[in-house]
Structure 1
């Protein structure tokens, strides 16, 4: 093991201010050294690599002696080694620490640090987070120093949200709590004022939903969305979203962001790219026969748009539309459904109908666990098509539609 703490204050004093013929470098241990200039200036430097032995070495100047003592230099060295263990570059972290010492880190600074360094890559959909913070957090406590903020300040802020939207308050709280924990672990902040409280203090957790549309509700939704032939009317965007999510059991994000480049009309296949997929893998679904004419008509109506539904639709817009239509159809007596509940209805009903559970999971876009997920790369297109054809026929029967959908969905001029 390499010897540590080779240097001493006595040695540094003897070297400081003493001119020499050449520059000297003397090691203290664990990456810390001193660099002595020809003029006798003594600087503490930290030696490290960021990418293993093959990466170029970095000589990071920590400070000058005697402005920085040997004891403090060793503390900074140890801190640098901790950063490296967390895969953080000491050069960047020292700048962050210096900036923080000049200006206190605000609540907005901390949340945006988490957003820029984690949420923006870890969350498939992250834009709505900023809108929430801009509306509910930043105007009230965003400019407050993290170090000076008190639990009372946070609770007052969340109580304001909870009065009208307790579930929203709980969701924002969980995001903020994750943000502060991320900042503390990365040593961007040193305290966590929310560390001792849970979501029940500030709102209500959304919990695990179990809403499955019953037979009548399913028939109503399919009749409303698929039976109304309004493909060239702006208000039909909701119907388009409902048809896609109900017919395929897909996530609203997959339908909302879908473009015509994902659709193969020759083989009648819809491929959701991995960028839009929650599991990070492409999802391949055949188009059931019962909606192919509807898809053809939709293409004629929206082919000039980037999105197959015709417009860029936000996540919040989808949620708002679903709530509004649920109430219009009189389904809210059993609790508001959301578009994600279509997936649960899709899975539950198909399983009750005897469809292959493995194929249902593939259609839902779930990642298959275990050996099957590693080795079985078949797309099972024929089996998927059989299940989807059965499902769309079932929906048409519920709504009282003739399964000759080409006749039902005549193109609207």
Structure 2
């Protein structure tokens, strides 16, 4: 066995010849004629002698050399060549994958093709994660580093005018966990810092909502949309959300090539659908003039609403509209979709037709064998719904509340 005093006695002292001191388990110290000491680990693979230089004394202490030797023995027992394994580990340490690189790897290699809300994921990472731990080496991050980020989301940052958002904290956690698992499975970078965390550890789950706007509240909203207080973009978005019961992202991302006015069909591509399925909706006759008007106004942009706004911007504008109306209970743009579904059911529209209009997959055996789009039934339902909306605002048949507004 080698002792620290022995190493100090040889260190820097010229020798008549080079020799090796042994410490056991394959660990040794090579002493050069110049008195330079180098730790080495010797082992065999398939009967062949091999050797690794672990480092020079005193830069590497005896205790550290023994730890490195044990690591090499573990790799050997697992069937790895310690020399190759150590080289790979050193390379990872010298060029570590950062937190930002890991999350961006998931966004580019997975989320951009499989998640329609990828822009929201990227914006949340850029706002809540990258400025604080984005340049940290991923393998060196600890759970506490991530929790500090989630706590800022949950509590809010008044100095940055960020409101408390406990539900968003849980959402960012779930996205980050999926991203790091993706990196781990692909061996791009490995960490288990988030494995033990769940949404309620950093925030709270989104409550199941049942907010449905009353007829009076819908009338208030439609009347507001006739004026100029609301921006042109949000006026058209809200009207189309009310008519079609679509998800906000389906209209926010909508492009003119999705709208076939000759056939009277709006086709939402898989890439814009939350469930990665094609959604077809008939276009009510009373809505066609609005789509034609939008094309004349925005045709050169390609986007139905003239530009591509972020999900956060649209959501914030929706909250502002709600606050202007001063309804007793607040609502969100997504509640327009729930109101659409509820009121169509109240009008006697068959549930499976409502589900098709919402873009939901049919359940049970119907999901396997029934490929019908129910276009006649959906058209009848939407025509009846638009007529109902006009009646809410006491408009005659030839004057629709859903007419264009410049």
TM-score normalized by the length of structure 2: 0.72
Instruction: Tell me, yes or no, if structure 1 residue 124 matches structure 2 residue 116.
Output: yes
Deviation at 1:190, TM superposition (A): 4.3
For 1:212-231, what aligned pairs fall within 5 Å after superposition?
212-225=212-225, 227-228=226-227
Segments of 5+ residues of structure 1 without an aligned counterpart are 1-7, 17-67, 78-92
**2:365 aligned counterpart, secondary structure:** helix
**1:334 aligned counterpart, secondary structure:** coil
Instruction: Tell me, yes or no, if structure 1 residue 249 matches structure 2 residue 241.
Output: no
Quote the residue 1:90 is aligned against.
none
Quote the residue 1:393 is aligned against.
387
Quote the residue 2:281 is aligned against.
285
1:292 & 1:194 partners in 2: Cα distance?
50
Deviation at 1:408, TM superposition (A): 7.8
Instruction: Tell me, yes or no, if structure 1 residue 363 matches structure 2 residue 357.
Output: yes
Deviation at 1:302, TM superposition (A): 2.5
Instruction: Tell me, yes or no, if structure 1 residue 149 matches structure 2 residue 153.
Output: no
Flag the 1:156–1:267 CA change in 2: closer, same or farther, 3 A.
closer
**2:396 aligned counterpart, secondary structure:** coil
Among residues 75, 79, 104, which one is paired with 2:79 in the alignment?
75
**1:135 aligned counterpart, secondary structure:** helix
Deviation at 1:322, TM superposition (A): 0.4
Q: Deviations over 1:65-98 (max 9, x none)?
A: xxx99x8497249xxxxxxxxxxxxxxx999867
1:257 & 1:177 partners in 2: Cα distance?
27
Quote the residue 1:57 is aligned against.
none
1:196 & 1:182 partners in 2: Cα distance?
16
Quote the residue 2:104 is aligned against.
112
Deviation at 1:182, TM superposition (A): 3.1
Deviation at 1:327, TM superposition (A): 0.5
Quote the residue 2:334 is aligned against.
340
Among residues 288, 295, 300, which one is paired with 1:304 in the alignment?
300
2:111 & 2:92 partners in 1: Cα distance?
22
> Contact conserved, 2:138 with 2:189, CA < 8 A, in 1?
yes
Bigger Rg, structure 1 or 2: 2
Quote the residue 1:56 is aligned against.
none
Number of residue pairs matched? 331
Flag the 1:103–1:328 CA change in 2: closer, same or farther, 3 A.
same
Segments of 5+ residues of structure 2 without an aligned counterpart are 1-43, 51-71, 157-163
Q: Deviations over 1:187-231 (max 9, x none)?
A: 444442233332223222223332221222222222223x34x7x
> Contact conserved, 1:402 with 1:408, CA < 8 A, in 2?
no
Q: Deviations over 1:109-146 (max 9, x none)?
A: 33233323332222112122222222211111222233
TM-score normalized by the length of structure 1: 0.71
> Contact conserved, 1:297 with 1:411, CA < 8 A, in 2?
no
> Contact conserved, 2:239 with 2:402, CA < 8 A, in 1?
no
Flag the 1:393–1:201 CA change in 2: closer, same or farther, 3 A.
same
Instruction: Tell me, yes or no, if structure 1 residue 175 matches structure 2 residue 175.
Output: yes
> Contact conserved, 1:290 with 1:403, CA < 8 A, in 2?
no
Among residues 240, 250, 259, which one is paired with 2:255 in the alignment?
259
Flag the 1:379–1:12 CA change in 2: closer, same or farther, 3 A.
same
Quote the residue 1:197 is aligned against.
197
Deviation at 1:12, TM superposition (A): 4.0
> Contact conserved, 1:287 with 1:385, CA < 8 A, in 2?
yes
**2:342 aligned counterpart, secondary structure:** helix
